[in-house]
Amino acid sequence: MRIHSSNHPWFLLAILVVLLSFSGALSSTHKEKTTSKNPKKEVTYDGTSLIINGKRELLYSGSIHYPRSTPDMWPKVIKRAKQGGLNTIQTYVFWNVHEPVQGKFNFSGRADLVKFIKLIEKNGMYVTLRPGPFIQAEWNHGGLPYWLREVPGIFFRTDNKPFKEHTERYVKVILDKMKQEKLFASQGGPIILGQIENEYSAVERAYKEDGVNYIKWAAKLVDSMNLGIPWVMCKQNNAPDPMINACNGRHCGDTFPGPNKKNKPSLWTENWTTQFRVFGDPPAHRSVEDIAYSVARFFSKNGSHVNYYMYHGGTNFGRTSAHYVTTRYYDDAPLDEFGLEREPKYGHLKLLHNALNLCKKALLWGHSRTEKPGKDTEIRYYEQPGTKVCAAFLANNNTEAAETIKFKGKEYVIPPRSISILPDCKTVVYSTAEVISQHTSRNYVKSKKANKKFDFKLFTETVPSELKGESFIPVELYGLTEDVTDYGWYTTNFKTDDNDLKKKGGKTTLRIASLGHALHVWLNGEYLGNGHGSHEEKSFVFQKQVSLKEGENHLTMLGVLTGFPDSGSYLEHRYTGPRSVSILGLSSGPLDLTEKNKWGNKVGMEGEKLGIHAEKGLKKVKWQKFSAKAPGLTWYQTRFDAPESKSSVAIRMNGMGKGLIWVNGEGVGRYWMSFLSPLKNPTQVEYHIPRSFLKPKKNLLVIFEEEPNVKPELIDFVIINRDTVCSYIGENYTPSVRHWTKKNDKVQAITDDVFLTANLKCSGTKKIAAVEFASFGNPNGTCGNFTLGSCNAPASKQVIEKYCLGKSECDIPVNKSTFQQDKKDSCPKVVKMLAVQVKCGRTKKNKESGI
């Protein structure tokens, strides 16, 4: 147990022994017998950490959501997470995935939660389970099924009888299933921690006393099930006992007020590895230096558990994303959308976990002390009285300059805004600011096999001019579609006479105010265009000058959803779609069509109802050969062969506007190429097609395109790799923590000579085929875009080729003697950086298994 500074450390240590012997009084204790085959684990906790079978643990966790990847991807993704130093996987449980229709549960395919958890267990890792009921997660409706909105008298996430009844039934179904499969730690399974509700404090005030009562009820619900694991509530500082309040955010080492009881540990349930993207956004990136700094700071301040949200984001297949959220999810995570290692984020965090593990004994059993030697510097260290166990974290919060810290008689230069980790209070084994892990650049290689000339055929939807309906206002769009489609039709008729149209010099304007998300408009059969809102500004106004005819005019609107909202209070009462329709500029004055006309409605596209996105429905309509142009609301279909190799596959939607993609009947997701970011580019161009969606030949590609005059001939299929591998290391950086181990409470070098190296490694069986760039000096740029600076060792490329060419992995010493072979330094005052870029490839013998 960590003990804070005191004048009587030995007295406190004696108290510690007594307290641990009565840990049941201080923690949530769940004791069961063990079996030889699958020993049951007692999971408890105290103010320091979770305690699993009597053993304290530092937990490094990553969020991986089973519906956002395919079952054939799960083994590799989980294995790579473990190789990245994680010992825990965290996942939400998605109510609307498992019970899309009331009373009918689904646990197959991407919904096979049991299979996913057993794969984690097979890899020797723990699980944190977050069953909701609300999850947010940028997932459609925050994970709540649509049918829940239709329950009479329901209010979500408050002290409301219908909501609580359905929540209790659902939660018990999920947790009972876990129990039947013996997946809880108390049964010998991997689930060591649960979470009920999600960031409830964001909405609690809206529900006042009912909100307080609801959160108490939710806590009591899971605690009463006696499942033998502790439970957390994230971003819920008033979490009722025995719930552990946990932190979400980017810098919980500074923003988290701490556990609300002294006997609860400091847990970080979401450390956001990047920012999720919505259509219209530019690219997002959170540096690994910032993530590493935040984790080191949290662990230096009594933290014992961190979860990276996300560690692998994956894909929002089909129509599963929340409103405006891109199909690609958290691609900047340590494992990218395709499950590939995004370097250096993956490697730098892996080394951080290694460094923290060297500090484990001190962190979990040491006596914590803090010193503040300067305005921007701080020392946090842990010592175990009577032993040599000691670990220190030296922090420099100056964002512009390095600072020198004197600690235990030795001086250490700490880079700007960084933390250096000393697992023996002497030896720096890791700096959060010094990235020595390799970098990679993702490549999209056009497939030769899949991109043969496409023979597109098309089917165009009929735009209705008059639909049946009795409503005197446009029907709310969420309720109209009931989450079975993104599309809802609206029609109305109105008359104008000669007097209305005689205003001299006047301009007649159609004005439609909508609460989102997008809208297409026709008047008298003519397409007027479309409009849309954004994630930040859902409401928008479509306004266009129009020509009316004398007599009856026909107005048709197509309301378009980009998903249901996923956050906020009173989610069941959120509305969208057209709300106000009027004609301006008439001689008789404005004509309000909103509440004076009858509106007809229709749900979805004819092609959706006939299922023409899949083989079974393909012949239910007459397809025409594609020529050069087509109107909007057109279905396109063609065939293609699976791309060569076993690498990940994507389709690039160049030339297209907005719509949906299917491959062999499987929903790839929504695309929106016409919604440009401030950089004048689409937010997402490439859309992941999992290999499990494909067959060797004649795969069916179906696209539903909303916009007219697109160019499907520009679409292509690409194979994804990270074969561009780089290194960017300073000659004064700290050698890798890989050189160190701990024996008998002492940090020892694994080799006789510890020195800084640049490590380059190809994936799989690939080898370094070419050195594309090398410079020891002051090069500029990033991986995939390096350029020479004013200082460069001429032998740089020759040295790298000697160390690396033809090898699957190589280590290059980063020092002057390696690169300045003539012992001449043309720029002695420059602190040298080594920039290397190599290309990995396959030999002739193994090319058949991949590119």
Which DSSP string corresponds to 285-353? ---HHHHHHHHHHHHHTTEEEEEEEEEE--B--TT-BPTTB-SB--TTSSB-TTS-B-TTHHHHHHHHH
- Note the pLDDT of residue 121: 98
Provide the pLDDT confidence category of residue 751 given band limits of 50, 70 and 90. confident
154 and 167 Cβ atoms separated by less than 8 Å: no
Dist CA 145 CA 564 (whole Å): 10
Model confidence at 827: pLDDT above 60: yes
Find the angle CA(505)-CA(554)-CA(494) to the nearest 5 degrees. 70
Out of 11-25, 132-146, 366-380, 724-738, pick the least confident.
11-25
Q: Residues 113-124: pLDDT tens digits? A: 999 999 999 999
Tell me the pLDDT band of 844, cut-offs 50, 70 and 90.
low
Domain 755-841 grouped into CATH 3.90.1150.10: no
Q: What strands, in cross-sheet order, belong to the sheet with 487-496?
A: 526-532, 518-523, 551-560, 487-496, 600-603
Query: Per-residue pLDDT tens for 371-426?
Result: 999 999 999 999 999 899 999 999 999 999 999 999 999 999 999 999 999 999 99
Residue 563 has pLDDT above 80, yes or no: yes
Q: How do residues 278-305 score in pLDDT, each as one tens digit? A: 999 999 999 999 999 999 999 999 999 9
What's the one-letter identity of residue 64? I
pLDDT of residue 5: 41
CATH topology of domain 444-459+608-720: Jelly Rolls (2.60.120)
Q: Are 513 and 519 in contact (CB under 8 A)?
A: no
Evaluate if residue 846 carries a pLDDT over 70. no
Cα–Cα distance measured from residue 756 to residue 771, given in angstroms and rounded to the nearest whole number: 21
- From the candidates 199, 337, 461, 706, give the one annotated as an active-site residue: 199
Q: What is the pLDDT of residue 505?
A: 62
Q: What is the pLDDT of residues 451-489, one digit of tens each?
A: 998 999 999 999 999 999 889 899 999 999 999 999 999
Q: Which helix (H) or strand (E) holds 499?
A: none
In degrees to the nearest 10, what's the CA dihedral of 431, 432, 435, 436?
40
For residue 306, pLDDT beyond 50: yes
Confidence tier at 847 by pLDDT (50, 70, 90): low
Predicted pLDDT of residue 37:
61
> What percent of the chain lies above the pLDDT cut of 90?
89
Tell me how far apart the alpha carbons of residues 72 and 358 are, in angstroms, rounded to a whole number: 35
The predicted-structure confidence for 480-536, as pLDDT tens digits, reads as follows 999 999 999 999 999 999 888 876 666 899 999 999 999 999 999 999 999 999 999
3-state secondary structure of 102: coil
Show the 3-state SS of 640-704: ECCCCCCCEEEEECCCCCEEEEEECCEEEEEEECCCECCCCCECCCEEEECHHHCCCCCEEEEEE
Q: Which residues contact 611 (CB under 8 A, 6 or more apart)?
A: 617, 620
Q: Class assignment of domain 59-342?
A: alpha beta
- Crossing angle of helices 345-358 and 288-300, in 10° steps, is 20
Tens of pLDDT, residues 574-621: 999 999 999 999 998 999 999 889 999 999 999 999 999 999 999 999
Average pLDDT, the chain: 93
pLDDT in tens, 338-361: 999 999 999 999 999 999 999 999
Q: Does residue 608 have an active-site annotation?
A: no
Tokens of 106: 């689904």
Closest CA to 514 of 537, 494, 536, 546: 537
pLDDT of residue 21: 39
List of long-range contacts for 805-809, beta carbons under 8 Å, 24+ apart: 805/768, 805/769, 805/770, 805/771, 806/767, 806/768, 806/769, 807/767, 807/768, 808/761, 808/762, 808/765, 808/766, 808/767, 808/768, 809/759, 809/760, 809/761, 809/762
* Full 3-state SS string of 393-455: EEEECCCCCCEEEEECCEEEEECCCEEEEECCCCCCCEECCCCCCCEEEEEEEECCCCCCCCC
Q: Which residues fall within 8 angstroms of residue 627, CB to CB, at 6 or more apart?
A: none
**Residue 745 confidence (pLDDT):** 83
For residue 339 the two structure tokens come to: 């499950």
Domain coordinates in residue numbering, the chain: 59-342, 444-459+608-720, 462-604, 755-841
CB 417 within 8 A of CB 398: yes
CA–CA distance from 625 to each of 45, 65, 460, 714 (Å)? 67, 41, 11, 17
The class that CATH gives domain 462-604 is mainly beta
Domains 444-459+608-720 and 462-604 share a fold: yes
3-state helix vs strand vs coil in the chain, percent to 5: 20, 30, 45
pLDDT value at residue 824 = 82
DSSP β-bridge partners for residue 721: 443
Give the pair of three-digit tokens for residue 198.
């999600």
Annotated catalytic, 400?
A: no
CA atoms within 13 A of residue 439's CA, in its CB half-sphere: 20
For residue 169, pLDDT over 70 is answered with yes
User: Tell me: the pLDDT tens digits for 627-648?
Assistant: 889 999 999 999 999 999 999 9
Which residues, including other chains, have CB under 8 Å from residue 506's CB and lie 6 or more apart?
Answer: 585, 586, 587
Spatial neighbors of 744 by CB under 8 A, at least 6 apart, are none
CA angle 673–77–642, rounded 5-degree value? 55
Buried b (16+ CB within 10 A) or exposed e, 588-616: eeebebbeebebbbbebbbbbeeebbeee
User: Catalytic one among 204, 270, 289, 378?
Assistant: 270
Q: Based on the number of CB atoms within 10 Å of its own CB, is 295 exposed (0-12), middle (13-18) or buried (19 or more)?
A: buried
| Backbone dihedral region for residue 571 (phi beyond 0: left; psi -120 to 50: alpha; all else: beta) | alpha
Alpha-carbon span 657 to 287, nearest angstrom: 32
Task: Kindly indicate the confidence band of residue 14, based on its pLDDT and cuts at 50, 70 and 90.
Answer: very low
- What percentage of the chain has pLDDT greater than the value 70? 94
> Which pLDDT does position 499 carry in this prediction?
84
Residue 38 pLDDT grade (very low, low, confident, very high; cuts 50, 70, 90): confident
